[in-house]
Amino acid sequence: MIDRRAFVQGASALGLALSSGMPVLGSSGHIQKHPLAIAMWDFSWLERRWTGAGYEDWDLVLDELKQRGYDAVRIDAFPHLIAADAGKEWELLPCWDQQVWGSPAINRVRVQPNLNEFIDKCAQRGILVALSTWWRQDPDDVRMKIKTPEDLAEVWQKALDSIPAAHLRDNILYVDLSNEFCIAPWTPWIAPGTRRNSPEGQRWMRDSIAKLRKAHPSLSYTFSFSGEYDTWKSQDVSMMDFLELHLWMTTFSDFNKQVGYHYERFSPEGYNNLQRRGEALYRSDPAKWQASLTHGIDQMAEWSRVSGKPLITTECWSVVDYKDWPLLHWDWIKELCEIGVRHAASTGRWSAMATSNFCGPQFTGMWRDVDWHRRLTDVIHKAQLPPSNL
């Protein structure tokens, strides 16, 4: 069985393993010779299990994910909750009520054995699992017990130790130690204002990965990013096995500013402005906004070339926030996402990519278009992998 790091490391191992037809989908025995299509199911996989929330029946939605051509899924492993008490029923506070990722109200979850059951169901279908975390908040706020990079590594080590060795070896694609490091609210335990490219930000990434790698040396590690892209040339990413970059058209333009969308989490104002102005602004000059996206993709592909790290992107392409809502149509979102997928695929720098960050059953307007998903996952599968001679 192939070492999981051989799939994503930015070096010859990636190209050689895949070009030689070695199995990379674990117990499925499938031969993977192309970039993977990956979906982001964040903390929704466990939180959104009430009637009508989308993830009540894991067998059904995983079959649907496979039907749409996806090879992998990125989920929240809730490592701090596992470290504190893996089998406890935890009460979680909402991080927003405007978005449809996770729960818009107080909810309760039990991480284990649900995490292992979910990984097992993925393994049965040849779907790899990427582990990440958004550090969901409970009333006691146990996530704030993380004070040092060593603490960060320790909670992850306990989480990984709770997963059977066979699953770690065969079914875990990678570990993202913290979603979109180091922005609030996803890194609440780090000093406010810390930048990733600062000595403190570098210390958190370097020391936590080093400690975790000693405990589980066969896994691939990263921190996902969603900003500080203007300084990428000066950033040290040598401690990571690959770059997990989140990028949208809005990342490289003033689209949100013109629309009046400011990521409101508990106010409808942002979505009201998106309803009134979002699609109209895009339709007024689509070439301009599409160029913003492709220019950003080219920058990130260049970062990959310069750093020698392959790319994985699980959140991407159009706007950051969207949902099924009056006056919000999916066609312009899908148009931008298709342009993003095709352009990123053409660079040959991605070892895995998403079609959008709306690839989940709770986004009905996006999810039900099976043909759209299959067309884009086919594009991903036909793309070239990063070269083996980096």
Q: What is the mean pLDDT of residues 32-52?
A: 95
pLDDT band for position 388 (cuts 50, 70, 90) = low
User: 13: domain range?
Assistant: 5-382
pLDDT band for position 319 (cuts 50, 70, 90) = very high
pTM for this prediction = 0.93
Gap between the Cα atoms of 140 and 185, Å rounded: 16
Gap between the Cα atoms of 250 and 317, Å rounded: 8
Question: Could you tell me the two tokens for 168?
Answer: 């770690």
Question: Could you tell me the two tokens for 265?
Answer: 């989490």
Whether cis (ω within 30° of 0) applies to the bond prior to 185 is yes
Gap between the Cα atoms of 156 and 310, Å rounded: 23
Q: Does pLDDT of 21 surpass 70?
A: no
Q: Let me know: does 182 contact 204? Beta carbons within 8 Å.
A: yes
Q: What is the mean pLDDT of residues 57-71?
A: 98
Gap between the Cα atoms of 268 and 276, Å rounded: 12
pLDDT band for position 9 (cuts 50, 70, 90) = very low
The answer to whether residue 129 is domain-embedded is yes
pLDDT band for position 198 (cuts 50, 70, 90) = very high
Q: Does pLDDT of 266 surpass 90?
A: yes
Q: How many structural domains is the chain composed of?
A: 1
Q: Does pLDDT of 4 surpass 70?
A: no
Q: Does pLDDT of 24 surpass 50?
A: no
Q: Does pLDDT of 2 surpass 80?
A: no
Query: How high is the pLDDT of residue 18?
Result: 34
The answer to whether residue 199 is domain-embedded is yes
pLDDT band for position 19 (cuts 50, 70, 90) = very low
pLDDT band for position 13 (cuts 50, 70, 90) = very low
Number of other CB atoms surrounding residue 16 within 10 Å: 12
| In the block, residue with structure tokens 């979109």 | 180
The answer to whether residue 387 is domain-embedded is no
Percent of the chain beyond pLDDT 70?
A: 91
Q: What is the mean pLDDT of residues 73-102?
A: 98
pLDDT band for position 65 (cuts 50, 70, 90) = very high
The answer to whether residue 283 is domain-embedded is yes
Q: What is the mean pLDDT of residues 152-178?
A: 97
Q: Does pLDDT of 22 surpass 80?
A: no
The answer to whether residue 153 is domain-embedded is yes
What rounded mean pLDDT belongs to the chain? Answer: 92
Query: How high is the pLDDT of residue 387?
Result: 81
CATH number of residue 209's parent domain: 3.20.20.80
The answer to whether residue 135 is domain-embedded is yes
pLDDT band for position 389 (cuts 50, 70, 90) = very low
* Between 179 and 1, residue with greater pLDDT: 179
Query: How high is the pLDDT of residue 23?
Result: 33
Q: What is the mean pLDDT of residues 366-385?
A: 98
Q: Residues with Cβ < 8 Å from 285, sequence gap 6 or more?
A: none
Q: Does pLDDT of 103 surpass 80?
A: yes
The answer to whether residue 389 is domain-embedded is no
The answer to whether residue 388 is domain-embedded is no
Strands (E), 274-322: 311-313, 316-317
Q: Residues with Cβ < 8 Å from 315, sequence gap 6 or more?
A: 40, 224, 226, 246, 248, 354, 357
Q: Does pLDDT of 298 surpass 90?
A: yes
| In the block, residue with structure tokens 């990434």 | 205
pLDDT band for position 32 (cuts 50, 70, 90) = low
Q: Which of 20-29, 40-49, 190-199, 292-301 has the lowest mean pLDDT?
A: 20-29
